[in-house]
């Protein structure tokens, strides 16, 4: 990739597992893209354009198909931020399955993670240990099943570890995790998802269903929010 003005920056493959966007990546000028007018003045720049997200998601679908094709899969989509990535990923897997000798039968279910105090977990900038899993059918139905958890962003990894520990109690046959983004944080917990699209700097990003207080979910590109946007939509 090249940034605004054609300057080259370090955007590289992460050992074949993900695209690593370096800390000095300047992103793309907002003037190069269309986006909802009600967010004018609220964003710094486009970090990942929608088209690149779509292409990368298609490749992740291919990797998943190669690894766990010929299996029945239960897809657990983590709401709310994961719904768009999950929908696109599942659609790509279905398309690949229809045109392949291998076939994946998928059931999609949805989970939402909340703290016991009612605070939504897996937010863009923090995670908490105490949580309950809401919205899914009885998790005991995962016993002996192949489970694919689909998430929007993994930060420190602590919350995902808690979720995995909860699901592992029901002894599924296999658990894999696919996350669109992995954030480089100052307090990583050593966790990496099995599949991820992009490793990004420790920035507050919105768009492609990632929100800031329920705003920006309708933004197709992944963008960096500015201070004006944070102040405007602060609760």
* Contact between residue 27 and residue 224 where contact means Cβ atoms under 8 Å apart: yes
CA dist., res. 184 & res. 198, Å (int):
11
pLDDT for residue 121 is more than 80: no
Can you count the helices (H) and strands (E) in the chain?
4, 11
Check residue 13 and give its pLDDT: 53
**pLDDT 10s digits, 162-212:** 889 889 999 999 999 999 999 998 776 778 999 999 999 999 999 999 999
Output the CA angle 165-167-168, nearest 5 degrees.
65
Could you tell me which residues are beta bridge partners of residue 176? 148
Check residue 71 and give its pLDDT: 81
pLDDT for residue 76 is more than 80: yes
Check residue 108 and give its pLDDT: 92
Pairing of strands 72-79, 146-154: parallel
**pLDDT 10s digits, 124-164:** 444 445 666 766 667 888 899 999 999 999 988 888 888 89
* Contact between residue 146 and residue 114 where contact means Cβ atoms under 8 Å apart: no
Which helix (H) or strand (E) is 217 found in, with range?
A: none
Would you give the DSSP letter of residue 76? E
CA dist., res. 115 & res. 21, Å (int):
31
CA dist., res. 142 & res. 167, Å (int):
8
Would you give the DSSP letter of residue 36? -
Q: Which tokens go with 235?
A: 């609760």
Say whether domain 24-118+128-233 belongs to CATH 3.40.50.2020: yes
Check residue 136 and give its pLDDT: 61
Mean pLDDT of the chain: 85
Check residue 5 and give its pLDDT: 42
CA dist., res. 89 & res. 233, Å (int):
30
Pairing of strands 195-200, 174-183: parallel
Comparing 99-103, 118-122, 220-224, the range with the smallest average pLDDT is: 118-122
The structure's pTM equals 0.84
Output the CA angle 89-91-94, nearest 5 degrees.
110
Residue 224 banded pLDDT, cuts 50, 70, 90: very high
């Amino acid at each position: 990739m090249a940034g605004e003005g054609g300057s080259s920056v370090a955007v590289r493959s992460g050992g074949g597992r993900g695209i690593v966007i370096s800390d000095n990546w300047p992103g793309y000028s907002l003037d190069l893209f269309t986006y909802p007018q009600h967010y004018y003045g609220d964003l710094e720049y486009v970090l990942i354009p929608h088209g690149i997200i779509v292409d990368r998601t298609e490749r992740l679908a291919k990797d998943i198909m190669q690894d766990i094709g010929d299996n029945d899969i239960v897809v657990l989509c983590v709401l709310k931020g994961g719904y768009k990535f999950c929908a696109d990923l599942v659609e790509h897997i279905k398309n690949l399955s229809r045109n392949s000798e291998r076939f994946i039968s998928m059931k999609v279910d949805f989970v939402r993670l909340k703290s016991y105090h009612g605070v939504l977990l897996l937010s863009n900038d923090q995670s908490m240990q105490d949580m309950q899993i809401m919205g899914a059918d009885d998790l005991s139905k995962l016993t002996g099943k192949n489970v694919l958890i689909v998430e929007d962003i993994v930060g420190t990894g602590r919350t995902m570890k808690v979720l995995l520990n909860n699901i592992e109690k029901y002894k599924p046959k296999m658990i894999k995790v696919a996350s669109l983004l992995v954030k480089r944080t100052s307090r990583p917990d050593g966790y990496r998802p099995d599949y991820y699209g992009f490793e990004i700097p420790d920035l507050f990003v919105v768009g492609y269903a990632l929100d800031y207080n329920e705003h920006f979910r309708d933004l197709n590109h992944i963008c960096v929010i500015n201070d004006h946007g944070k102040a405007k939509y602060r609760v």
